[in-house]
Amino acid sequence: MFYRSNQLAIPQGHAPPTQLPTEFSDYVRVFEIVDSQLPGYVYLELCYLLTYCTHDDKYNYFEYDSGQYFSGWLYYTEGHSRSRHGPALITYHSHTSRLNTDFVGCVRCLSWPPQAADWPTRHRNHDWPDSATVDHVVNNGCDVVGVAHRRCRQHEWMGKHQWRLSFSRAEIVLINSWMPVRQIVYHMLRVFMKTERLTDNGVDSEPIAVSNYHIKTLMLWTSETEPRSWWTRNLNFIRISIELLHTLSIWLTEARCPHYFVNNCNLLDSFCNLEVIASHLMSIDETWLSTWFVNNYIRKCSELCPDNVSRLFSDVSTTMKLQKAVSAVVDWRLNTTLRDKWGLFDLADFVIPFTVCDLLDLTVRSYVCWMTELSKVHTRLII
């Protein structure tokens, strides 16, 4: 996700800010977040122009005429190596050393949105998230991404001007606060749903059956509503995954997936294929899922290993042989982790400074800000 330093969103009715973080430009267009008829989806109305005044280190503002709405399509320029996928622009790289990249343009909102006003104060029985994490989440505000609701995408005006509230910053903080068992189960569920093509969106205009966001929402709700002991008893990842998949099955049957942050926002519509997916998920038991992970996950991991490791999976007919094969994969991965991290760092060493210096609307204040942030990662990145 990226946001432009000359754009800012504020909740409707809020006064324009007089001070902004140093990464923002000297001239900033401010948009008010206006509710649509669909919970979680909004419009951005251009209301103010902020201009930075150096002598008092504050922003002055000028009002725009009302009725100018920002189009999310302005964030994207599609070419032969790019395609749209929801709010993301996917860039494909032909070079084998470069990963394909999803870019999601957004408008930064420094305030916690009133559409999610109930989230910070709602009652939680099991103290997750704790008060410090809640404060951290709220203080991060949110973002707004340029994508219309499925029902509005074919509308000439709404399809281009509708935006969605994004809580990605909040979700990162919350996921990082999970104990390892929750993070592992989340990864397992995402791999299973994607491999089984239960999160395959197909053509962008087609109805979405189940997305990764539904899995994330399920995990967030379960983390809040279930005690720590629910996750740690017997530490059985397959058992936990089965229970979560069965819960998701019930949600699909009822066409109900409540948004974790926004009240009255249902992330599921009634489609005929929901019942088929729900029936499949409810039929899964521990034996079936255990076998599935051995054949479709662990065995796939082994194929990335040298021959002396991968050939161990030619016979995993006993628990002892399976444990030996898995241990060999884990050992190989631990021995190659440092090399892989260095490769990623070497790529970041080029990409991050290039992006900061060449693509952003830099001022003296924002340049100092970005160089300071980069130096926190590693001193080499400020070269």
* CA proximity to 219, closest of 250, 254, 190: 190
Distance in angstroms (rounded) separating the CA atoms of residues 137 and 319:
44
pLDDT digit string (tens) for 222-256? 999 999 999 998 889 999 999 999 999 999 999 99
Distance in angstroms (rounded) separating the CA atoms of residues 144 and 111:
12
The token pair that represents 47 in the structure block: 């209301």
pTM of the model: 0.86
The token pair that represents 323 in the structure block: 């444990």
Where do the domains of the chain lie? 1-176, 178-284, 310-382
Per-residue pLDDT at 179 exceeds 90: yes
Residue that the structure tokens 């189009």 belong to? 71
User: Burial, 24: exposed, middle or buried (Cβ in 10 Å; 0-12, 13-18, 19+)?
Assistant: buried
For residues 91-119, give the mean pLDDT: 81
* pLDDT band at residue 353 using 50, 70 and 90 as cut-offs: low
Per-residue pLDDT at 36 exceeds 70: yes
Predicted confidence at residue 209, as pLDDT, reads 67
Give yes or no for a contact between 41 and 149, defined as CB atoms under 8 angstroms apart.
Answer: yes
pLDDT digit string (tens) for 5-20? 899 999 999 999 999 9
Alpha helices in the chain (DSSP H): 131-139, 158-161, 168-176, 180-195, 212-225, 228-232, 237-253, 273-282, 286-293, 299-302, 307-310, 319-354, 364-377
Give yes or no for a contact between 266 and 258, defined as CB atoms under 8 angstroms apart.
Answer: yes
Burial 79-91 (b: 16+ CB within 10 A, else e): eeeeeeebbbbee
Per-residue pLDDT at 99 exceeds 80: no
Stronger pLDDT, 289 or 210, i.e. the higher one: 289
Per-residue pLDDT at 202 exceeds 60: no
Predicted confidence at residue 245, as pLDDT, reads 97
Task: Give the CATH architecture of domain 178-284.
Answer: Orthogonal Bundle (1.10)
